[in-house]
Amino acid sequence: MSIGTAQALNLSSPDMFGLAGRTSTGQDVFGLSKTNTVTTSAAAQPASVKQIHMPDGVLKPPNAENRILLLDIDETLAARVEKSDKAKLEKAGIPVYEIGPDKDGKRDEFPYFIERPGAKELLGNLINQGFVLVASTRNMPHHVDTVIKKLGFGDFFLTSFDRFDLNSKENFDFKKYPNHSNNIGWWARVTDWLSRNTVGWFSDALRWIKSVFTKQAVFRNTPEGSVNKYPPHLCGARVLFDDKSENTKHAQRSGDWVHVQIQPFHGNLEGYKASQERDANGNYKWWKEFLDTAKTLQEKGWQELYKTTYKKDPKQTKVEVTQEFNDRLQAAYGFRL
């Protein structure tokens, strides 16, 4: 599990966008009556975990399920950059970051990336509203760690999950988690196996051969249903923010979490300029899905968000995260799921 190194972060500033979790009577539906402060001064805690001091009663179940958000990083908060676009971005004064070789000397298949305009401001706003943020990506640990570190995202995320975390045994216990979105039928598994071991095999073989000469770190293409994120049992989140439309069907099939599809971020000059567009209130337009979802979670909870999104009632399932994640949640926020 990849962990971003946190620095001191003051969350006592007022809500920037007027989206504090208030009901019509003016009461905070999550019991937030004081300012929240993140500090790294506490001792005897796991390394690289934020130490967060919050009022008693805050972020305790069942409210915790409305507070933990899973955010995909790639093409949402950051985007890979093709070599042909790198020069144009740098000429326009846009910082392009590079992912260096991993511990084995292998280079990333997509070594260049940029930060989405307004990404840190959005993350700070969500934390100021009392949300717990968890990062996720289908990429390798070295890629994830570098992106989070170089962009300073570790200041905002409690932790992050990489490709291996998504493929872990805990994420595939179909008997224990019958609503798991990866739990595809036997025929889908057969056709997927055939695809991977015919055309897919040759495609993967060519990529590996190429890597011998390019010294790139490559990994085999994954099958249908093998790396789909399952928020409730991955990190306790009932909401996943991602740009991939296929996650909608996984959320509907699972019935106990919501996929919020956001505007994708493309790593070129046109994509960067598009993400700079603002609405009449001065907010970045691509924030809309985040802010609307945050408001619904605060006022009504994830079940109502599910009903509104999919026009049916959600399933009531118990969240059972890994012990490692619970330990980090305990160290940072003082509670367990």
| pLDDT tens track for 136-184 | 887 777 778 888 999 999 889 998 888 777 766 555 565 565 566 566 6
Across 85-111, average pLDDT: 87
Residue ranges of E strands in 77-229: 78-80, 97-98, 107-108, 112-115, 132-136, 157-161, 216-217
Same domain, 197 and 113: no
Which of 195, 224, 253 finishes a domain?
224
Same domain, 16 and 134: yes
Domain membership of residue 133 (yes or no) is yes
pLDDT of residue 63: 75
The pTM of the full predicted model, rounded to 2 decimals, is 0.74
Q: Which of 19-33, 92-106, 263-277 has the highest mean pLDDT?
A: 263-277
pLDDT of residue 142: 78
> pLDDT grade, residue 229 (50/70/90)?
low
Same domain, 130 and 68: yes
Residue 32: name the closest of 40, 21, 16, 48 by CA.
21
Domain membership of residue 79 (yes or no) is yes
In the chain, how many domains are there? 2
Q: Which residues does residue 78 pair with via DSSP β-bridges, in sequence order?
A: 74, 115
Backbone angles phi, psi at 135, to 5 degrees: -95, 150
pLDDT, tens digit (0-9, with 9 covering 90-100), for 280-312: 999 999 999 999 999 999 889 999 999 999 999
pLDDT of residue 175: 58
Q: Find the domain containing 265 and state its range.
A: 9-179+229-333
In this structure, are residues 233 and 166 in contact, taking their beta carbons and an 8 Å threshold? no
In this structure, are residues 6 and 155 in contact, taking their beta carbons and an 8 Å threshold? yes
In this structure, are residues 191 and 40 in contact, taking their beta carbons and an 8 Å threshold? no
Same domain, 173 and 189: no
Does 94 have pLDDT greater than 70? yes
Same domain, 53 and 201: no
Domain membership of residue 275 (yes or no) is yes
Could you tell me the CA-to-CA distances from 112 to 86, 98, 99, 177 in Å, in that order?
A: 8, 5, 6, 37
Which of 193, 224, 255 finishes a domain?
224
> pLDDT grade, residue 187 (50/70/90)?
confident
Does 71 have pLDDT greater than 80? yes
DSSP string, 264-282: ---SSHHHHHHHT-B-TTS
Domain membership of residue 2 (yes or no) is no
> pLDDT grade, residue 23 (50/70/90)?
very low
